[in-house]
Amino acid sequence: MRSRRPLRARRPRLETARAADAARTLVVGAVVAVLVVACSGSAPVTARQPDADTVAAAITEEGLRTRLEALAAATGTSSQYRAVGSAGYDRAATLVEQQLRSAGWTVTADAYNSATFVDEGGSSLKVGGSTFGVDDLRPLIFAPPGDVDGPIVPIDWVPGATDRTGKGCSITDYGDLPTHAIVVVRPGDCLRRDQAVAAQQAGAAAFVAVYPGAPAGIVFRPTLIEPGTVRIPAAAVSRAVAEALVAAAGGSGTAGAGTAHLVTSARTAQAPAHSVIAELPGSKPGPVIMLGAHLDSVIDGPGVNDDGSGVAALLEIARALGGTRPQATVRMAFWSGEELGLHGSFRYAAALSAEQARAILVYANADMIASPNGFAGVYDEPGAPAGSSAARELLSSAVTRAGGTPVGVDLHSGSDHYGFAQAGVATAGVFSGASDPVSVEQAATSRATAGQPADACYHQSCDNVENADLGLARVLAASLADFAVRVANNPELLSH
């Protein structure tokens, strides 16, 4: 899961006209494939209709663990885990395709050329007599390399702040910056990309993203979404570096005698990428129920919870549905490029024709469902398209049947459902929390501890199988299976 952002922030169009046409061709081809399979007898009309309770009961902790361990094994020898463009991603995609075909699903690939990010180390920051290296400093995804030596300017520094109320989203937040200024900015009510652009426009020479409330030694690396948008060096740092920068500057909002020397050395490249699309044909022409999870990980960790847990859930649901035939077609997507800026899903959704978008009754997302201090979150987002409220109620009921207590969450535009919402498709999803502290309300519905991150290993190297709460993952995966089958058997529940 990529860092959250407000729903009202407009996301720039990521695909060219050629890419959109290619994706539209894929979608049309997938529909044709469904008709061909139906006519060929590969999914016979006599196949039984799935039963929601039976399918949900088939989702087990052991099954999820097996999927996660296989995914981790495929990823383990890759230097960049399952990041797009890495060997680990390609092996994971092959594994997913094989398992889907074994379960009897029709599998296609949505292939395209993607911008990828490569960090081979070598970045550093010198401040106050100390030098910090790769353990405390990471260039933001798609930031250019650079070398800046200049005065430090903290923007609205609040020690230990865990909220997203910092300044820096507007050019006016930066005032009159000194020459070669290195601005230090905490999270605000906008994208990190927007903050970096505003700083660039204000004359900053470098942008440093800080997270005052982050655990010691942790560095969160957000994405700038598109290469070339930000032309100044931009990096994220640990709490220790943030505190050293602010101390050297003489306090928040000042540009004192303190200076820093920032060197970043990552690069952007182009590489082939593809999302994996699978379908189980329905007996009723037209309606589609779509489930999705992102297959890629960040370059900094193995991504077992984020989002191997969602991938494992979909694979278990695919297995449990094998040999059945609901009324509506069930389509699954294993997205590439989510951690880069929702590239795969946004590209696919933006290429849907109006008719294709109407055929998708709901897109339900599974992104991070095994957080070790997590809760049973169900998407509840103001302004979501028509049908989303009904989907939320149905999915919440499924969580209750699976043994969980649902709590509404607003992910804004932070995962792969966003592109579908922009296309007017009803959205839903399950979520167990990320790096934000668990709220009192969320803790009251679960075994989570309020005030602590839902997943302290979010985007870190410790996001491995041992980090995953398989009990919670089973509840949310079974809920998604229950929801998908009930809607697929009765499309009128969400017809619009």
User: What is the residue-wise DSSP string for 386-434?
Assistant: TTHHHHHHHHHHHHHHTT---EEE--BT-STHHHHHHTT--EEEEE---
The answer to whether the beta carbons of residues 430 and 56 sit under 8 Å apart is: no
- Single-letter residue type at 164: R
Asked if 259 and 183 sit in the same domain, the reply is yes
Q: Give per-residue pLDDT as tens, 104-162.
A: 999 999 999 999 999 989 999 999 899 999 999 999 999 999 999 999 999 999 988 88
Within-domain flag for 8 = no
Asked if 112 and 142 sit in the same domain, the reply is no
pLDDT at 65: 98
| β-strand pairing of 267-280 with 106-118 | antiparallel
DSSP single-letter state for residue 158: -
Asked if 167 and 95 sit in the same domain, the reply is no
Within-domain flag for 438 = yes
Q: Give per-residue pLDDT as tens, 231-247.
A: 999 999 999 999 999 99
Distance between CA 128 and CA 244 in Å, rounded?
A: 7
Distance between CA 151 and CA 178 in Å, rounded?
A: 7
pLDDT at 255: 54
CA separation (Å) from 169 to 166, 231, 241, 399?
A: 8, 17, 22, 37
Asked if 193 and 177 sit in the same domain, the reply is yes
Asked if 344 and 442 sit in the same domain, the reply is yes
Quote the domain boundaries for residue 43.
17-116+271-493
Look at the chain and count its residues.
496
| β-strand pairing of 124-127 with 259-264 | antiparallel
Distance between CA 435 and CA 247 in Å, rounded?
A: 26
Within-domain flag for 410 = yes
pLDDT at 11: 35
CATH number, domain at 243? 3.50.30.30
Query: In the chain, which stretches have pLDDT less than 70?
Result: 2-46, 251-257, 495-496
Within-domain flag for 10 = no
Asked if 418 and 450 sit in the same domain, the reply is yes
Cβ neighbour number for residue 41 with a 10 Å cutoff: 9
Token output for 243: 């505190």
CATH number, domain at 408? 3.40.630.10
Residue 54 three-state SS: helix
Element (DSSP H or E) covering residue 311: helix 309-321
Asked if 212 and 97 sit in the same domain, the reply is no
Distance between CA 354 and CA 226 in Å, rounded?
A: 26
Q: Give per-residue pLDDT as tens, 266-294.
A: 999 999 999 999 999 999 999 999 999 99
Asked if 297 and 330 sit in the same domain, the reply is yes
Of 235, 265, 295, at which residue does a domain stop?
A: 265
pLDDT at 209: 98
Asked if 283 and 257 sit in the same domain, the reply is no
Within-domain flag for 152 = yes
Q: Give per-residue pLDDT as tens, 173-199.
A: 999 999 999 999 999 999 999 999 999
Token output for 323: 């040999």
The radius of gyration of the chain from alpha carbons, rounded to an integer in Å, stands at 23
Q: What total of structural domains would you count in the chain? A: 2
Asked if 202 and 260 sit in the same domain, the reply is yes
Cβ neighbour number for residue 488 with a 10 Å cutoff: 29
Of 232, 265, 298, at which residue does a domain stop?
A: 265
Within-domain flag for 2 = no
Of 245, 265, 285, at which residue does a domain stop?
A: 265
